[in-house]
Amino acid sequence: MAKRYRYLTGPDDSRFCDRVTEALNDGWELYGNPTLAYDSDTARMICGQAIVLESSEHAS
For the segment 23-39, what is each residue's pLDDT rounded down to a tens digit? Answer: 999 999 999 999 999 99
The pLDDT of residue 1:
80
State residue 25's pLDDT score: 98
* Residue 40 CB-half CA count within 13 A: 0
**Could you tell me if residue 49 is inside a domain?**
yes
Domain enclosing residue 51, as ranges: 2-55
| DSSP string of 11-58, one letter each residue | ESSHHHHHHHHHHHHTT-EEEEEEEEEEETTTTEEEEEEEEEEEESSP
Question: What is the Cα–Cα distance from 31 to 35, expressed in whole angstroms?
Answer: 11
Instruction: Supply the CATH number for residue 41's domain.
Output: 3.30.1660
Predicted TM-score of the model (pTM): 0.83
Total count of domains within the chain = 1
Give percent above pLDDT 70 in the chain.
95
Residue 60 in any domain: the answer is no
